[in-house]
Each structure stands twice: as structure tokens, then as C-alpha cells.
Amino acid sequence: MVSPAFRQRCGLLVVNKPRGMTSRQVVDGVERWFPGHKVGHAGTLDPLATGVLVLAVGSATRLIEYVQRMSKTYSSIFRLGVVSDTDDADGRIQEFKDAPIPETAAVAQALRQFLGEIQQVPPAFSAIHHEGQRAYQTARRGGPVELKPRSVVIYDICIHRYEYPRLHLEIHCGKGTYIRSLARDLGRFLGCGAIVEQLQRRRVGPFRLEDALPPTASEAEAEAGLRPAVEALSELPLLRLGGAEFARLCQGQAIRFTPGSAVAISPGQECAVFGPMPRGIVVAEWQPDASRLVPRKVFADLPCLSGSVSSAMP
């Protein structure tokens, strides 16, 4: 039962997930900080992985999909010369028989094959739905798991250190990228096998590891660390409209609109639109052929930071 002193909270929280803890366990802990509130996370981290886990509290959970779209930066250590059923150090590890020891130049050349938009098959031990259940549930029973390749984007891979069998990397990638799949595919390309031995997510969009709270933080620290829900839309162009135009968008009506020179919006791109009120956000699509903004999602109850929004009056 919710206390009479209950106060509705809404926002984003950045938590530093420790190794060995599941993302669900982190969510459970945050729910204890904010009793009576819905809490969700924007992108699972494997138990082996550490680092940035972005969580949404209260009505901010409706914006999780926008955080999930954000690019991510990982630091990882790949162990070459071995393979495992989970593609990481938490699985059953086997030495790769007669594995060659690749030179640094060969490793660097191989990594270049994975830059840009690529087709990647997720690990069998993953939370992807497969034949009506999670793929890892089938894999744990020893059943066959054949997942289809998906398009992902890897923007950059930097080698920090390589002393066989350990390869230290920093990886900047788009949504849906599995670092375990990258290790597996790199090992196959080099002919020596590879797994993820350590993995840390250092950044999701603007949310950095340096700003993350430990799971041991107090309730007061968690409340102080709650960030505005509007930050979930920080990678979209931000617009502010007058009251009449904004009200029409909130009612599901398209409005005539031509962006000013200070606002960069691509044709068909979504943007976050704010009005003069302290609450209310609309995600709208700009259709330049018709010179109009078309509302796609309306968040009438979400607070916004109107002072941080660039003016773009039509």
C-alpha cells in the first residue's frame, strides 16, 4: 500500500552495475529506492558485464525506447585462443586446438572488417525471442538455437593493448550490438577463437560511467541523482513552439512548420517538441514536402526543461 506521504517521481537514473548482478536485480534495488513507482531499464547488461545501466522511474518509462536507440561505448578484454558456449568467460570454456597466434597487424586488419553497418548474429545465450521464448532458455536446455543476423552499426574500434591472448579494446557502436558476437566473429576470422573476458559499458548517449550511482547508494542519493526525463530525447532535435501550435500537436493534429536555420532536422526525422508549459512533450516527424510537423507520440504529463530548449518558432 502506498504511503499517504507518497510523492510521484519521474526521471532517469544512471547506475553502475557490478559484475555478477543481473539487470533485473538492479531494477529490483531501484524499486526499493522509489517504492510504488514503475521502474524499467534501457538495455540489458549480461551478469559478466559492468557499467552504465540507464533506468527510468515513473512515467519516464514511456521514453525508454529513445535511450535504447542511443549509441554506446564499451571497454572490453577479449581472450583469444579459446571459445565458449556463451561467447564469454561465464560459459563452458574450451581451448581452441592448435590456435595460431595472430600478430597485432593481423588483429587490426581483422577488426576493420567489422566497422560500419554489418550483419551480426546474436549469441545463442541471449534474451532475444526465439520460437516463443528467450533464446537462452532453449540454449540452457541444450536445444538448437538458430538466430537470424541483424543489421548493427559499429562506429569505431580502438586497440588499447594487445598481449596474446588478451586484447584490450574500446568499442563505439549503435543499438543492438552484441560485444560477445563481435568477439566470437573476430575469433573465427582470425582462426583462433575468442571470447569476452571482461566488459564495461562506459557510456550510453550522454549518460556516462562517471555520473553513475553504485547499487549501494542511499535512497537520498538516488533521489538526488534522478535526472530529468527529457534527457531521454537529448539525441533528437529539440524545438519549442507557441501555445496554439503545441496544443494542436498534443491533440494529434499536424501543423505547418518550416525549421529555422538554427535547427538541423533531416527529412522524415523525429524531433522533440516543447510548448510554453512546464509539462508536455511531443515527438513529431518533420515532413518537408508538405512543410508540416506530424505528431507521432504525445507525452502530455511529462515535465520538460523549457529553459534548455532552443527556440524554433515557425
Q: State in Å, rounded, how far the first CA of the chain is from the last one.
A: 48
pLDDT at 301: 81
Grid cell for residue 285? 516527424
Q: Residues with catalytic annotation?
A: 46
> Which parts of the chain have pLDDT scores under 50?
1-2, 4-6, 130, 138-139, 306-314
309 neighbors 239 (Cβ within 8 angstroms)? yes
263 neighbors 216 (Cβ within 8 angstroms)? no
For the chain, list the domains and their CATH numbers. 11-70+206-230 (3.30.2350.10), 72-204 (3.30.2350.10), 236-308 (2.30.130)
What DSSP element (H or E) covers 17?
strand 11-17
Residue range 184-237, pLDDT digits in tens: 999 999 999 999 999 999 999 999 999 999 999 999 999 999 999 999 999 998
What global pTM score does this model have? 0.88
